[in-house]
Amino acid sequence: MNYDVAIVGGGASGLACAVRLLRNAPELKIAVIEAGERLGKKLASTGNGQGNVTNTDMSAEYYFGNKDLVKKIALSPDRISLEEQLFHCMLHADERGRVYPVGRQASALVDSLIHDLQHGGAEILLNTKVTAIDKRLKMTLSSGQTLTARFAVLCTGGKAQKQYKTDGSAYALAQSLGHGLTQLFPSLVQLKTDTEHTKILKGIRVDCGVTACMNGQTLARTHGDVIFTEYGVSGNAIFAISPYVADRHGTVLSLNFLPFDDEKIIRDIEEKKKLGYRDGELLSGTLHNQIGRAIIRRCGSNRAEDICSTAKSFILNVVGTLGFDYAQVTRGGVETDGVTEELESKYVRNLFLAGELLDIDGCCGGYNLHWAFSSGYAAADGILKRL
């Protein structure tokens, strides 16, 4: 089998790369090689099945890894809103700037990309894993066949959620060609914490402020849902804060259950005391009863000021994460100093790398898909320049 371009991995970045190539050079003989039984399976499950493809608030501060490369690849004026052109779907931003297809169906995004691939005549090899690749871009497939290509693009994703065939085994392809790999961590993931003070809160969801700190320094702050679980904490706010703690030991979370004026809170507690409320009930009506009791028990005093300060800074020690099986994205990956600004390998001519495979990841809110699509575009543009 001989192709002009072989794209390894039919996920978000691989499909964007293929579509970009087909639209600009329809004469190319392109193969998309996908280990799974379907193209874009992970993409179809993103954003709770609704597909949060990008964000209106785009900045390098929402990315981790090589920010210069992010600026050049993902934030350049011609790529910042590439999703508008990539899909045959109308897109719409919600009040938080998260952009979704108007129909809120991520599978429609995949259908749109597959339509373009089929229409453009790309060859799609499903249930086919690339097991080896050499410097002449000759690939060995799981079927035992070999395939050669003039250009190859590795778009094999990261290590998050192996049910999507992203078990991390594909890093070895890049490594076999001389690329280095940074340490890998799960990100956008639930956090394990000490549960001494939260065991009784299991199953309770609360809207609160969350600050991640290490050695007295604030790493990040957010606000939103926290759900107490048997292992620690989950919820939107935890997902949002997890990228800042994923690769650090010794982080603490400070939960602010009462983001109001101290005075107001203290007055409310004092009034309850005067009315004869028992200690355990001093936050009743202000917070979920169980949370109120957990705060007062932990505080160990019935002084209104002490209760108020515990409610505003309820500390949990982070002891780990739920791991790659639950994470949405991988922190770390193939070292970016091994690729050019067009994402071509510095070690193998005509080999490009894109997507989560590289050591770049983003915050929750559409940043990872935008990186996947824009890096797929960048690889395609690099190839188009060479034709």
Structure token pair of residue 241: 């804060």
- The CA-based dihedral angle spanning residues 119, 122, 128, 134, taken in that order and rounded to the nearest 10 degrees: -160
Q: Nearest to residue 139, comparing CAs of 94, 173, 113, 169?
A: 173
Q: Which is nearer to ligand FAD, 36 or 382 (CB)?
A: 36
Pick from 58, 367, 377, 381: which binds ligand FAD (CB under 6 A)?
367
39 vs 9: CA distance, rounded Å:
8
Q: Which is nearer to ligand FAD, 71 or 162 (CB)?
A: 162
> What is the nearest approach in angstroms of ligand FAD to the Cβ of residue 386?
22
> What is the nearest approach in angstroms of ligand FAD to the Cβ of residue 83?
10
Task: Decide: is 152 part of the binding site for ligand FAD (CB under 6 A).
Answer: no
Q: Nearest to residue 286, comparing CAs of 306, 257, 315, 313?
A: 257
Structure token pair of residue 324: 């790659």
15 vs 106: CA distance, rounded Å:
14
108 vs 23: CA distance, rounded Å:
19
> What is the nearest approach in angstroms of ligand FAD to the Cβ of residue 196?
31
- Indicate the pairing of strand 2-8 with strand 30-33: parallel
280 vs 64: CA distance, rounded Å:
43
Pick from 20, 79, 165, 192: which binds ligand FAD (CB under 6 A)?
165
| Cβ(74)–Cβ(137) below 8 Å | no
> What is the nearest approach in angstroms of ligand FAD to the Cβ of residue 269?
41
Other CB atoms within 10 Å distance of the CB of residue 37: 9
142 vs 97: CA distance, rounded Å:
42
Taking CB under 6 A as the criterion, which residues in 314-333 touch ligand FAD?
328-329
Binding track over 210-249 against ligand FAD, x by CB under 6 A: ----------------------------------------
# binding residues, ligand FAD (CB under 6 A) = 39
Q: Which is nearer to ligand FAD, 40 or 209 (CB)?
A: 40
Q: Which residue has the tokens 């179809």?
A: 44
330 vs 187: CA distance, rounded Å:
6
Q: Nearest to residue 319, comparing CAs of 265, 262, 253, 373?
A: 253
- Indicate the pairing of strand 360-362 with strand 205-214: unpaired
Q: Which is nearer to ligand FAD, 252 or 329 (CB)?
A: 329
For ligand FAD, the nearest residue by Cβ is 11
Pick from 28, 255, 351, 369: which binds ligand FAD (CB under 6 A)?
369
Q: Which is nearer to ligand FAD, 10 or 292 (CB)?
A: 10
> What is the nearest approach in angstroms of ligand FAD to the Cβ of residue 145?
13
Binding track over 18-57 against ligand FAD, x by CB under 6 A: ---------------xxxx----xxx-xxx----x-----
Q: Which is nearer to ligand FAD, 307 or 357 (CB)?
A: 357
Q: Which is nearer to ligand FAD, 356 or 359 (CB)?
A: 356
Side-chain half-sphere CA neighbours of 260 within 13 A: 11
Interface residues with ligand FAD (CB under 6 A) are 8-14, 33-36, 41-43, 45-47, 52, 129-130, 155-157, 160-161, 164-166, 170, 328-329, 355-357, 366-369, 372
